[in-house]
Chains A and B, each alone.
Chain A
Amino acid sequence: MMALVKNETIKMIKKKRFYVILLVLLVLVPIFSYAQLRAAEDKRSKFGTDWRREVQQAITDNQNSLGSDRVPEEWKKYRQIFIQQMKYYLEHDVNPRQPGAVAFTKEFLDNAATLFIPLLIMGIGSDIVSSERTSGTIKMLLTRPIRRWKILLSKLITLLMFVSLIVVATFIICYLISGLFFGYKGFNLPVFTGFKLQGADVDISGVHAVPQWKYILMQMGLIWFVSSVVAMLAFMVSVLVRSTAASIVIMMAALIAGNILTNLASAWTSAKYLFMVNLGLTQYLAGTPAPIEGMTLGFSLAVLAVWALGSLIVSFLVFTKQDILN
């Protein structure tokens, strides 16, 4: 099995897919960092160096909008929650927007978890099996004295290894590059987590401060989980669909549909069983309300796990049984 995984790893590296992904990160992160830097400068010119004024202003703005009829009820709920969280930060004298490479990374990971990182994962996952079929090398693999499930398993292991590598690489690149803009400090700054939402109210009894490094570690764990699930789904599509292009399109459509659904599906509650709307695991950490009523961290983890398991079963059944005709 080691030899098979080695084979797959060599192919993955020599195909240069992984380098492309690193390159994408290396290009995009500085752009985001720069944008963030401009935003911070802008605020500083408005509020000076006192972050309390800035937070207070944000609270006031949101409170004002609550009285307006033009704001939908749902948004009002989000805003109420936001106000209560900000108040909590103020009371405990913690700046929620302390600039720094660590804070930037935290923010970036939050935003990247549902679409950006899954897209990168798809880049390597979608063609791991289908490329062998497109090129015909699948025949060379399957005529060896090795059972088919072992060959597929070696591919899966390799894929998960690269998923882990991408998650870690995203963090490292983010931290190193944004550090150039904001400085490398901030690992020990506190972040509050554990906000429980009950309707429009926030239950703060369980709220506690964790240092940012710990918070990021938790985020990365969740992102790793999401990425692995996306990888396994891409893996299944790659087994089922012969063409690499088709398998990328299918996965991309699913992910983007998920992003759209998250924004508008709160009325259709059974949508919560779709994997695409459960990708935002890190939002539970931050205390942002879930897109659909009834979703919790445990629920989302379970839904994703079921999808992952299902796609593995399908992948292995199909791959070990199918006739290789092309």
Chain B
Amino acid sequence: MGAEAQQHPLSDERTGIEAYGGSEQRQIVLKVEHLRKKIGRKWIVQDVTFEVREGEVFGFLGPNGAGKTTTIRMLVDLIRPTEGKVMICGYDVRKQPEQALAYVGSIVENPEVYPYLTGWENLQHFGRMLPGVDERRIAEVVEIVGLDQRIHDKVKTYSLGMRQRLGIAQALLGRPRLLILDEPTNGLDPKGIKELRIFIRRLAEEGLAVFVSSHLLSEIQLMCDRVAIISRGRVLAVGSVEELISENSNYIIWELTPRERGVELLKAEGIAVIPDPDQVLDDTILAGMSEQAVVAQMLPDDVQAVLARLVAEGIQVHAVQKINPTLEQLFLELTEGESIE
């Protein structure tokens, strides 16, 4: 598959992939347009639109029950969308599943493999369902995920982490251009999560488009170039992590003595002082913050002028710290307080 894909240029008309102008020269591998799904009388997915380009890690972020898994299942033709369409490398998943799915490797929910077969036999099994996968390719992916030691053992003796690796090996088998991972860090220990993160970044650097869903915001933030935030079946925002963050107001933490006069001065400058910092800030930031700290909402560019003013008024400034909102905050703002977990 991969070999075949490399033969035609990506902007080839046959693949229908559009080239992107400006700084975005990367090709769109996955394009989702107004996807909707109704199950029974309920709209599980109401309106999902986004694109994933080659070489990027795309995060799909939302609380449990937001419609993430349903959306992912529509991406790989397990569920038929009620409306909208999914294009993979220019092929409609619904109309040309054989062509479209040839470009995709995926793990939907848990990496489910046959426990009564060995890891190797499992890979052979899935390899037979893909064109151009031979024993050499299997050995290759086994090495990539580092399962060489145990690959000939029965899968029922594997730990969850090893199954996860086997799942990834299986997904990479057909040399996909799009890798879809649904909650890939589930059941992994912190070391495993870090390894996976590095691994996913490496795959993206090699040109693979990686689509990762998660309900854990910190994870997405660390490994994704762009994210879509989904809640109650709707995409609330799509953008690069930096973009989404800088679009939202920045917080500056001041440590001032005397505190009261400092606050008065800040207010006099027309700066909003947050009365209840634990409403907007992350626990990790709150933990390292002194009780006396003042959280102000202001542009970083204004810090210089305000600082000079405070010093001129004889107020001691012990520390000034700029805080980017984390995705947690972002999410809270976008969903107006709907809880994340």
A residues adjacent to B (C-beta < 8 A): 3-4, 6-7, 10-11, 14-16, 135-137, 139-147, 321, 323-325
B128 at the interface (CB under 8 A from A): yes
Distance of A3 Cα from B125 Cα, bound (Å): 9
- Tell whether, in the assembled complex, residue A143 and residue B80 are in contact, meaning their CB atoms are under 8 Å apart: no
Using A10-B125, A142-B77, A325-B79 as known contacts, say yes or no to A147 and B112 having CB atoms under 8 A apart: no
What chain B residues lie within 8 Å of A141 (beta carbons)? Answer: 129
- Tell whether, in the assembled complex, residue A140 and residue B109 are in contact, meaning their CB atoms are under 8 Å apart: no
Distance of A49 Cα from B294 Cα, bound (Å): 113
Known: A145-B1, A145-B174. 8 other contacts (CB 8 A): A3-B128, A11-B125, A136-B109, A139-B108, A143-B78, A321-B80, A323-B39, A324-B73
B30 to chain A, nearest CB (A): 14
Using A6-B128, A15-B116, A135-B112 as known contacts, say yes or no to A323 and B80 having CB atoms under 8 A apart: yes
Using A10-B121, A147-B98, A323-B80 as known contacts, say yes or no to A137 and B112 having CB atoms under 8 A apart: yes
B277 to chain A, nearest CB (A): 43
Of the candidate stretches B47-55, B99-107, B332-340, the one touching chain A is: B99-107
What chain B residues lie within 8 Å of A147 (beta carbons)? Answer: 97-98
B residues adjacent to A (C-beta < 8 A): 1, 39, 73, 76-80, 97-102, 104, 106, 108-110, 112-117, 121, 125-126, 128-131, 170, 174
Distance of A137 Cα from B155 Cα, bound (Å): 13
Distance of A145 Cα from B73 Cα, bound (Å): 15
- Tell whether, in the assembled complex, residue A143 and residue B128 are in contact, meaning their CB atoms are under 8 Å apart: no
- Tell whether, in the assembled complex, residue B128 and residue A146 are in contact, meaning their CB atoms are under 8 Å apart: no
B128 to chain A, nearest CB (A): 4
Using A136-B112, A140-B113, A141-B129 as known contacts, say yes or no to A324 and B101 having CB atoms under 8 A apart: no
Q: What is the chain A residue whose CB lies nearest that of B91?
A: A145
- Tell whether, in the assembled complex, residue A145 and residue B98 are in contact, meaning their CB atoms are under 8 Å apart: yes
- Of the candidates A11, A14, A136, A145, which one forms a contact with B130 in the assembled complex, judged by CB atoms under 8 Å apart? A145
What chain A residues lie within 8 Å of B106 (beta carbons)? Answer: 143
Distance of A14 Cα from B113 Cα, bound (Å): 14
- Tell whether, in the assembled complex, residue A3 and residue B73 are in contact, meaning their CB atoms are under 8 Å apart: no
Using A143-B76, A145-B101 as known contacts, say yes or no to A4 and B128 having CB atoms under 8 A apart: yes
- Tell whether, in the assembled complex, residue A143 and residue B77 are in contact, meaning their CB atoms are under 8 Å apart: yes
What chain A residues lie within 8 Å of B109 (beta carbons)? Answer: 136, 139
B85 to chain A, nearest CB (A): 16
Using A143-B106, A146-B98 as known contacts, say yes or no to A135 and B129 having CB atoms under 8 A apart: no
What chain B residues lie within 8 Å of A142 (beta carbons)? Answer: 77-78
Among B76, B100, B115, residue most surrounded by chain A Cβ atoms (within 10 Å): B76
B117 to chain A, nearest CB (A): 6
Distance of A323 Cα from B79 Cα, bound (Å): 4
- Of the candidates B73, B76, B108, B116, which one forms a contact with A14 in the assembled complex, judged by CB atoms under 8 Å apart? B116
List 27 interface pairs A-B (beta carbons < 8 Å), by A numbering.
Answer: A3-B128, A3-B129, A4-B128, A7-B125, A7-B129, A10-B117, A10-B121, A11-B117, A14-B114, A14-B116, A15-B116, A16-B116, A135-B115, A136-B112, A139-B112, A140-B126, A140-B170, A143-B77, A143-B108, A145-B1, A145-B98, A145-B100, A145-B129, A145-B130, A145-B131, A323-B73, A325-B73
